[in-house]
Amino acid sequence: MAPASPETRSLARVSAGEPLPLLFFADGYRFPDVYHTTRLLTPDPIIALEEVEELVVVASSLEEGRARAESRATQVRNANEFGAQELASKNVIGTALDAAIIKNLLDERGVHRVAVPPYFPIGLAERLRAGGVELVVATDLPERRRAKRPDEVEAIEAAQRATEDAWRAGIDAIRRATVRPDATLELDGAVFTAERLRAIVETVLLERGYASDGAICAPGPQSANPHQIGTGPLHANEPIVMDIFPQHKKSRYWADMTRTVSKGAPAPEIRKMYDIVMRAQDAGIKALRPGVTGREVHELVEDIIWTAGYDTLRPGQQRNPADQTPRGFIHGTGHGVGLEIHELPNINRQGIKPLIAGDVVTIEPGIYDPKIGGVRLEDMLVITADGGADYAAGLCARRVGAVRTAFGMQGTGLVSYAAALLILGRWPTVESGQVPFAVVLGVLGVISVSALYRALALGPIAVVAPVVASYVAITVLLVVVFLGERLSAAQAIAAGVVFVGVVATSTDGRELRATLGRPVPGVRIGLIATIGFGIWGALFAIATRAYDWTVMILLLRMTSFVFVGTYILTRRIDLRAFRDRRALAQATTVGVLDTLANALFGLGIATGFASITATGSGAYPIVPAILGVAALRERLAPNQYAGIAILVLGLLALGAAS
């Protein structure tokens, strides 16, 4: 996935396709387009004018300082510069004052024709038109927000994590509840109601900085109405639809997740509905990829539900057309999520535009029967260049999450390595002195690997991978200090060339001014992996000089697997994501390749200079960088392509010098 740069500017387009400067007069709280463009939240309207390379924000003295500190504006101007104080002293107020300030701004910039959003105030528009400004309604604003930047994906994922925490708190309460003789649930001595369950969920969200306006906790027959908020007592053996959709108060990004649960075994028909909904959701998720339309995904889901014996809203998919009672699958399959809970793209009959890389969408089929209740399952997904993946670790992390990827990688790596030792008759003898090294290496490796996978998931891959590869500088420094190695002049020069290549590859020259000191989230998290791997490499080199490297790899794999597994158990992380065979295959590939890399690293250290081996391991970013460009269509700056070339030359020189 290669979302647009945070600093990318795009002129609004009118119906004829003509690009125009875009004029806003609105606040960022109620109008997501304003916040998306300016990154400034104000309770009152601001004036913002977006041109090709500039974004001008005109603010009051009250908001000017914050606008300079927080907004993306290339210029922040005080309203008094355009006559606000002078006009107010002449009793020009309200819409007339706002129109005069905007007119003065446009005149200063020589702009007489602008695009405005559909919600631009009509009274203000009439005054500007009377003053000679031509206004054209922009048609592309929802499209501008579709392809999510890495920082947006990070904010949405944070909202999703909070949603999962809140849901788990609700599930814990349902689990603790007891069942009265009449099947009513009781919690802490009182009837457990939908209202109490919702309060538990929303309290967790509030504590994490999220607003939740009416999380759905609909029990029994109420769950047959998809947006019934839920009231009254909960009962055993009935479905409870929990649809949680919080918005972070600061980032403004939403999450949306639905689960259907039951205290005790539900009726067989509910169980059947659940299985069909899950099958339909899995198929819908599998169908997501750039180029497919939301309508195509929706109709695929409809067909599965119809074939299983339930009605849908598609003409011809009702078994008794005379019965107008809503039943079966009675809504769209999904929708976009971002600064609005429902935004483009549509995953329904109206979804006629192809999906694109960077879209964040939900897949949420449901089946509803007014007599017994309903079942709905909903998950959010990011559309990437190959339908939800990049390659190996990055692909798996984007599909199932960094922690699950780490668990899958450690498990498959351990099994494959142990099997190889047994087949080769090389099963080693463990010495007590190796255990402390293995524990420290295991913990450090888990933290570093999880940070790497998280960084790869955020991307861009072609930048994150080389940045993390710069860990070799830390490893070499520590090895030289603690193992007393000395490099030849030629080796030192070649290693220096490698480092120059890493630095050049990790810096986007096009955005250097804008991003200096503010690296994208993937790079920020990648730096944690860089430090961790740097220390890990040096410690592994020290341990390998003292003990057999085959034993060290086996032990550190075992300890890593135990640590990740313990974390997953304590956090109750669901591993059913690995039912997706692609995700399982990707985790297996990562585990095998990573273990092979450990073995080659250990062999290199045992047979030569640890510093040379560590520096040579910096070659790995070349592969993901190339794959990021070729497979994911990530576009790098010219200096980054040059950086990859420098890195390759440095590694070749290092090999020749060694």
Task: Retrieve residue 262's tokens.
Answer: 């039951």
Q: Are 546 and 484 in contact (CB under 8 A)?
A: no
Q: Are 421 and 427 in contact (CB under 8 A)?
A: yes
Task: Retrieve residue 417's tokens.
Answer: 């390595």
Q: What pLDDT does residue 559 have?
A: 85
- State pTM to two decimals: 0.61
CA dihedral 503, 505, 506, 510 (to 10 degrees): 110
Average pLDDT over residues 413-419: 86
Better-predicted residue by pLDDT, 169 or 483: 169
pLDDT tens for each residue of 322-345: 888 999 999 999 999 999 999 999
CA dihedral 423, 429, 434, 435 (to 10 degrees): 80
Better-predicted residue by pLDDT, 102 or 485: 102
Q: Are 390 and 456 in contact (CB under 8 A)?
A: yes
Least confident span in 96-105, 253-262, 322-331, 523-532: 523-532
pLDDT tier at 486 (50, 70, 90 boundaries)? low
Whether the pLDDT of residue 54 is over 80: the answer is: yes
Handedness of CA 405, 411, 414, 417 (dihedral sign): negative
| CATH 3.40.350.10 in the chain, residue ranges | 12-144
Better-predicted residue by pLDDT, 404 or 326: 326
Comparing CA positions, the residue from 290, 292, 284, 282 lying closest to residue 387 is 290
pLDDT tens for each residue of 207-239: 999 999 889 999 999 999 999 999 999 999 999
Who contacts 436 (Cβ-Cβ below 8 Å, separation ≥6)?
none
Whether the pLDDT of residue 594 is over 90: the answer is: no
pLDDT tens for each residue of 10-31: 445 444 455 789 999 999 999 9
Average pLDDT over residues 129-136: 95
pLDDT tier at 9 (50, 70, 90 boundaries)? very low
* Length of the chain in terms of residues written: 658
- Give CA angle at 254 (248, 257), nearest 5°: 120
For the chain, the C-alpha Rg in angstroms (whole number) is 29
Whether the pLDDT of residue 356 is over 80: the answer is: yes
Q: What pLDDT does residue 211 have?
A: 95
d(CA 206, CA 296): 37
Least confident span in 87-91, 224-228, 353-357, 442-446: 442-446
| CATH 3.90.230.10 in the chain, residue ranges | 150-382
**DSSP-derived 3-state class of residue 217:** strand
What CATH number does the domain located at 150-382 have?
A: 3.90.230.10
Q: Are 541 and 614 in contact (CB under 8 A)?
A: yes
Element holding 115 (H helix, E strand)? strand 113-116
Whether the pLDDT of residue 249 is over 90: the answer is: yes
Residues of the chain with pLDDT > 90, as a percent, come to: 48
Comparing CA positions, the residue from 95, 83, 160, 163 lying closest to residue 128 is 95
Average pLDDT over residues 639-645: 73
Average pLDDT over residues 550-564: 83
Distances (CA, A) of 517 to 7, 150, 512, 524: 15, 17, 9, 10
pLDDT tens for each residue of 163-177: 999 999 999 999 999
Amino acid at 486: R
Average pLDDT over residues 433-441: 84
371-375, 460-464, 468-472, 511-515: range with highest mean pLDDT: 371-375
d(CA 521, CA 3): 13
How far apart, in Å, do the first and last CA atoms of the chain sit?
Answer: 38
- Crossing angle of helices 471-483 and 521-546, in 10° steps, is 30
d(CA 202, CA 49): 38
Whether the pLDDT of residue 125 is over 60: the answer is: yes
Residues of the chain with pLDDT > 70, as a percent, come to: 79
Average pLDDT over residues 291-296: 92
d(CA 554, CA 221): 54
Please give the CATH topology (third level) of the domain spanning 12-144. Creatine Amidinohydrolase; Chain A, domain 1 (3.40.350)
Whether the pLDDT of residue 1 is over 50: the answer is: no
> Mean pLDDT, the chain, as a whole number?
82
Whether the pLDDT of residue 152 is over 80: the answer is: yes
**SS3 sequence, 46-81?**
EEEEECCCCEEEEECHHHHHHHHHHCCCCEEEEHHH
Task: Retrieve residue 298's tokens.
Answer: 């929706």
Task: Retrieve residue 253's tokens.
Answer: 């990004």
Task: Retrieve residue 477's tokens.
Answer: 């420094």
Task: Retrieve residue 234's tokens.
Answer: 């909960």
Least confident span in 146-160, 414-428, 629-643: 629-643
Better-predicted residue by pLDDT, 158 or 400: 158
Distances (CA, A) of 204 to 166, 227, 258: 5, 22, 16
Amino acid at 150: P
Comparing CA positions, the residue from 335, 347, 336, 345 lying closest to residue 298 is 347
Who contacts 550 (Cβ-Cβ below 8 Å, separation ≥6)?
421, 426, 428, 599, 602
Whether the pLDDT of residue 433 is over 90: the answer is: no
Whether the pLDDT of residue 122 is over 70: the answer is: yes
Whether the pLDDT of residue 393 is over 50: the answer is: no
